[in-house]
Structures are given as structure tokens and as C-alpha cells.
């Protein structure tokens, strides 16, 4: 049975701050009360949870249950949170791990990411809505990983569609990108295995947006540096999901590199020209074309002809010029067959 577990250990001051934020009054603090309140918060969201009062108890729970998400405080008596999450990584590698801390210094953050594969940090004290939203994002990540591992395409697509609901302007985006990318792949005569990888990579190319706030995704104005940093990390986070689901390197590379530019000015690694995997360059053409031909909060959708004109202007700087030509020929054939322009 799928369960959600939160492991809470608080110093007296932190526990007091949490309870004040929850009930707005002074009261006697007990560890069991804190766990009861935590349980109530998530059961209101329809999320069943298990709680533990020690690292050893948490590990015992992990051995007996399928656990989707673990939230652990870092500074705990006995076993530190980082040690607990590292051991959970061995017991249940697909479980998504969240670390709570009063102060996330760079050294702790790097150790948590490298040693325990922590998904996110949450700094205490937190807002309840922030914690719930973070846990729901972690749960979506877990379900997506499990659907990929099982090869359950229908569940995978339903989760991708649910992710797209965070930004109403991207509804159906991943499936349309897959359609365009597959037409390019087939035109190039790529092998069936590569074509399948491009299909999966297209569906999942934005899965790293799990955990990116709707406020950022839907913001109509320019983003500040911190918000841009978050957005530009989504290929890295998405590639982590694909690796955890043990997908082929081709799919991982599509997710990781679909925002690289042909001139080397893209992200996250600044790859250029042929250093960008072919499959990622194909998906980049499809991704940008679909973005141009669909409505956005700050502009109307461009026509197919106008979008293609804009793609041609990106040849050699943003996009692979040969792939733009291939895609242009595909659209021209479709226009000729339909007998008109859009």
C-alpha cells in the first residue's frame, strides 16, 4: 500500500514556532502533538501518512511499506537527517526525499544532493501551504518515476498532462512537441529505437518543472535573477527524474539539453553545434515551434507561416539550420497536401 511518511524531530524553539503558526496561541509542546498536527495537515489533503519518532523507527517503516515521500528534519537527536535519508536511498531508491533545516549552507546542500539525492530543502519555520505544495510536487515526481519504470505510457501521459495544468497555456504542449519531433526523426530515417526515445523525451522534456512554482510559470512580466535560476534548472531536475527512472541516456539527454542553443548561449551547460545531442536538437525545433504557434499570457499565437519565418531567423544561432530546413520541408508538404496556408 502506498504511504506518505513524515519524520519530524524539533528542538523546543522550532516546535513552538511551528505550533504557533498552526494554532495561533501558546500551548504545551510535545513531540507526539507535533506529529499529530503534521498528520492532520496532510490527511486534510487526502494524503495518508506515517510518522516516526526516531531514525531507527523511520527505517523500520521504510522496510515494511512502499513510501512515496519522506520529509525529515536535519538536526535530530541520535541519527541526523542526512544520515537517515542516505540510508533510505539504499532501502528505497525511488522514494523522494525532502530535508528540513534551519539554515541550508552550501556544504550541507551539496552533501545532501550528492550523498542522499535530496529533492528539495525547506527552511524552518515554513508556511503550511508551502510545505503541502512541496510534498504534492514530490508525490507527482514519485508517481511519474514509477509510471516510467513500469512502462505505463497512459499513466505517464496523464501525469505529464497534470503537470501542464500548472500553466494553462501549455496544455497539450508535450504531446504536440512529440508529434513535430517524430515527423523530423522519421524524415531523417532514424532507427525505431531512437524514434521511440525521441517520443519519450518529448513527452518528458519539461518534467523538471515539477517543483517550479505556478507563480513563476504563469508570471507575465520579466523574471528576476533568482526566478530565472529556478526556471533554468528545470532541465537538470528533469534529467534527474529520467535517471532515477533508469531511462536510456538518449532520453536523459533530450530532457537535459533541449534548451541548449546552437551558438552555445543556451542552458544549462552552454553546449554548441554538434556537442548538443541530435535528439535534443530535434526536440528544440519542435518545442520552439509549438511555443510560437500557441497562445501565451503575453501574446497571441503566431500563424504557422509566421512561426516558420521566425524559426528560419534562428538558424545557426538558436537552432540547428539543417533541422530547421527539414522541418520547413515537412510543413511545406503538409501545406501542399491540404492546399492552403495557416
pLDDT bracket for residue 339 (50, 70, 90): low
- Helices assigned H by DSSP within the chain: 12-23, 31-43, 55-64, 81-91, 106-116, 128-150, 153-164, 173-187, 192-204, 214-217, 225-232, 234-244, 249-257, 278-292, 304-313, 321-338
Tens of pLDDT, residue by residue over 133-186, are 888 888 888 888 888 878 778 878 887 877 776 666 677 899 999 999 999 999
Least confident of 60-64, 147-151, 212-216: 212-216
Alpha-carbon gap, residue 155 to 8, rounded angstroms: 32
Average per-residue pLDDT in the chain?
81
Name which residue leads in pLDDT, 22 or 257: 257
Q: What is the pLDDT of residue 14?
A: 45
Average confidence (pLDDT) over 309-317: 97
pTM passes above 0.85:
no
Sign, CA torsion 72/78/83/87: negative
Average confidence (pLDDT) over 330-339: 80
Tens of pLDDT, residue by residue over 266-275, are 999 999 999 9
Question: Nearest to residue 179, comparing CAs of 167, 189, 187, 191?
Answer: 187
CA dihedral 303, 309, 311, 316 (to 10 degrees): 180
Tens of pLDDT, residue by residue over 274-311, are 999 999 999 999 999 999 999 876 678 999 999 999 99
Length of the chain: 342
Average confidence (pLDDT) over 99-124: 67
Alpha-carbon gap, residue 274 to 226, rounded angstroms: 30
Amino acid at each position: 500500500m502506498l504511504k506518505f511518511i513524515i519524520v519530524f524531530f524539533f528542538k523546543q524553539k522550532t516546535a513552538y514556532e511551528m505550533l504557533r503558526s498552526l494554532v495561533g496561541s501558546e500551548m504545551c509542546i510535545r513531540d507526539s502533538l507535533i506529529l499529530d498536527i503534521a498528520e492532520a495537515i496532510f490527511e486534510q489533503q487526502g494524503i495518508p501518512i506515517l510518522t516516526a519518532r526516531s531514525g531507527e523507527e523511520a527505517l523500520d517503516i521504510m522496510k515494511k511499506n512502499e513510501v512515496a515521500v519522506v520529509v525529515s528534519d536535519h538536526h535530530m537527536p541520535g541519527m541526523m537527517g542526512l544520515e537517515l535519508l542516505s540510508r533510505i536511498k539504499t532501502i528505497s531508491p525511488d522514494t523522494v526525499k525532502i530535508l528540513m533545516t534551519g539554515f541550508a549552507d552550501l556544504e550541507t546542500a551539496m552533501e545532501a544532493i550528492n550523498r542522499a539525492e535530496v529533492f528539495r530543502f525547506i527552511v524552518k519555520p515554513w508556511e503550511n501551504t508551502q510545505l503541502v505544495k512541496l510534498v504534492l510536487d514530490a508525490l507527482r515526481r514519485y508517481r511519474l518515476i514509477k509510471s516510467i519504470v513500469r512502462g505505463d505510457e497512459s499513466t505517464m501521459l496523464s501525469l505529464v498532462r497534470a503537470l501542464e495544468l500548472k500553466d494553462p497555456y501549455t496544455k497539450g504542449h508535450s504531446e504536440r512537441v512529440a508529434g513535430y519531433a517524430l515527423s523530423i526523426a522519421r524524415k531523417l530515417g532514424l532507427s525505431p529505437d531512437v524514434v521511440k526515445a525521441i517520443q519519450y523525451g518529448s513527452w518528458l522534456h519539461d518534467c523538471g518543472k515539477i517543483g517550479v512554482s505556478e507563480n513563476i510559470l504563469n508570471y507575465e512580466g520579466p523574471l528576476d535573477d533568482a526566478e530565472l535560476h529556478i526556471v533554468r534548472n528545470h532541465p537538470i531536475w528533469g534529467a534527474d527524474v529520467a535517471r532515477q527512472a533508469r531511462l536510456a541516456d538518449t532520453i536523459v539527454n533530450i530532457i537535459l539539453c533541449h534548451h541548449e542553443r546552437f551558438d552555445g548561449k543556451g542552458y544549462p551547460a552552454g553546449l554548441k553545434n554538434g556537442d548538443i545531442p541530435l535528439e535534443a536538437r530535434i526536440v528544440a525545433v519542435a518545442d520552439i515551434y509549438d511555443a510560437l504557434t500557441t497562445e501565451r499570457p503575453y501574446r497571441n499565437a503566431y500563424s504557422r507561416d509566421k512561426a516558420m519565418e521566425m524559426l528560419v531567423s534562428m538558424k545557426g544561432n538558436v537552432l540547428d539550420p539543417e533541422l530547421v530546413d527539414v522541418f520547413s520541408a515537412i510543413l511545406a508538404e503538409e501545406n501542399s497536401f491540404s492546399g492552403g496556408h495557416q
